[in-house]
Structures are given as C-alpha cells and as structure tokens.
Structure 1
Amino acid sequence: MQVDDQDRRLLRQYQADPSLSAAALAERAGMTRASAWRRLERMQAAGIITGLRGVIDWRALGYGVEVSLRLTLDKSQASAFDTVIARARDIPEVIEIQTFLGRVDLRLSVIARDMHHYQELYKTRILTLPHIAEIEALMQVATIKQDESLPL
C-alpha cells in the first residue's frame, strides 16, 4: 500500500494521541472526518496500523531493575532456539526477547523489583534455560531516549 502525505499527516496525529476520535484526528490532520476514517481503516487493513495498546510504566508497579541479557546458545541441537525462546516466554519478568545474527543469539530484557529479586530470577529461571553457552548481563543505568514514534 502506498502512503501519501495526507496519510502521514494523519499517522503523525494518531501516533501523538491514538485515543483521539476520528473527528479530532481529522481536524488536526486538516481533512474531513469521513476521509480520515476511510484512511485509518485502509491503513489498519493493510497492517500499517496494527492496534491500540496501553503502555504501563513497570517502574510505577514496583520494578526498579532492568537487565539486558545477551545469550549465546549451544546450537548443536537444531531445536535450541525454539526451546530457549519457548521457555523464556514463560518467565513473566522477561518483557522482551530479540534474536540476532552474529556472536549473540538472543537478548532478553528482564525486569525485577530489586537486586535480590533479580538474583533469584537469575538463579532459578534464567540459568535453568537449556542450551546456553554464554550469558552477558548488562545492567541498565538510565534510559536516555525511548520513543516509539516513527519519523513521519
């Protein structure tokens, strides 16, 4: 699907505040409500807009530690990736899983209430994951930029 300048204007407004009504989005994007609604529906059908979601600050819920774990797997078994990913998905404190090409195979983003909680998670849940050859832990100190908005 081709995205034109009007679509981009509409997407910028939608990205800034997805809770706005179609009428408010249309007004901010400088188009009619019907046109805005049709464009939004078309972009949803095309998979450009994939949904509306609530973003919860995990720090506000008592989680104070985030650790990025870089995993290198023992890939001698063909199912290593699938097995580790399936098991990591079952750990509620793993909030993100990424796969890579190169020396690092997976990255897990893990949150914990405090260092004691993290150490417990690490010993009982992370180290018990199968096929791990190497783990490198990176403790997050500060988030400098976290922006899910696209440059439209």
Structure 2
Amino acid sequence: MLDDVDRAILRQLQAEPALTMPELAGRVGLTPARVIRRVDRMQADGVIAGQVYVIDWRALGFAVHVSLRITLDKTVARAFDEFLTAARDVPEVLEIQTFLGRVDVRLALIARDLLDYQRLYRDRILTLPHIADIEALMDVSNVKSDMRLPL
C-alpha cells in the first residue's frame, strides 16, 4: 500500500513530471536515493505506469476534435475484434473506448479542418467494418481535461 510519503511523491510528479530526483527529494523531505527506491518500487508495482509528453494537437494545426459514438452489428461473431483492429490503424483516432449498453464504441479523432474531417469520415471511418449506427459529436470547448488523481 501507499503511505503518505508515496502519495506526496505522486502528487509532486503529477504536478511537475519533469522534476529531477534531487528536486523531488527536496520537496518531499527525503534523500534522492530513498526517493529513487520509492519511485522504482511504485513503477515495479504498476502504480506509476510511465511518463509521457502531452503534445497540444491544436498547436500542430489540428483544429477539429470529434467524438464518434458507434453501435456495431452484433449479429457478426467477431464484429468487436474486427472493428477495433481496423480502428487502431486510423492514425487520426486518438482514443478508443468500449462500452456496455446501446453505444458499443467511442472514437475520439482529430482533423485539420472540416474538409479534412469530411475526407477522414468518408474514407476511413465509414469503411470500418460492422458499423450499424454512428453519431458524431463535435467538440465545441473542453471544460476540464485532467489526468491527475486526487491523492
């Protein structure tokens, strides 16, 4: 289990992932060697899954973000597997989620503009296998997007 020091380390890493081990150690009141051991243990235990750089896709010219809610043809035995395999191959698809209920899958995708989205939708999305129904929801604003846990 995590103790208060582990949670303090995680809070600091969530707030500022680029901290060096000596900086992190100073903030949590431990030596760098002890912090390294704790971070290594949390990585080995799967608590820390990795480090990533978050790239702002808007800064790279992608102005459109769309969520597609998709219902699959469940009369086909391998519809889910075949759809998910094909959807993973679409580079503009940033996220794939599966659900229980009327909607089976949600795809989050980006495009440079509406014409690019239209091309992507026609040429790549509508050709994915086993789609029975699809609903597009275009993002207007992102009110909250935070991966930090309340530790």
Aligned residue-pair number? 151
Q: Which runs of 4+ in 1 moved over 4 A?
A: none
Deviates more, 1:24-33 or 1:124-133: 24-33
Unaligned runs of 5+ in 2: none
How far did residue 19 of structure 1 move?
Answer: 1.4
1:79 match: 78
1:32 match: 31
Looking at structure 1, the residues matched to 9 and 126 of structure 2 have their Cα atoms a distance apart, in angstroms, of 46
Looking at structure 2, the residues matched to 23 and 48 of structure 1 have their Cα atoms a distance apart, in angstroms, of 21
Deviations 1:66-121 (A, max 9, x none): 00000000011221011111111111100100000011000000100000000011
Identity of aligned residues (%): 62
1:52 match: 51
How far did residue 14 of structure 1 move?
Answer: 1.0
Deviates more, 1:95-104 or 1:10-19: 10-19
Looking at structure 2, the residues matched to 125 and 21 of structure 1 have their Cα atoms a distance apart, in angstroms, of 43
Letter in 1 for 2:35: A
TM-align CA RMSD:
0.7
Q: Output the TM-score relative to the length of structure 1.
A: 0.97
Looking at structure 2, the residues matched to 112 and 123 of structure 1 have their Cα atoms a distance apart, in angstroms, of 13
1:22 match: 21
1:131 match: 130
1:105 match: 104
2:94 match: 95
Q: Output the TM-score relative to the length of structure 2.
A: 0.98
SS in 2 for 1:96: strand
Unaligned runs of 5+ in 1: none
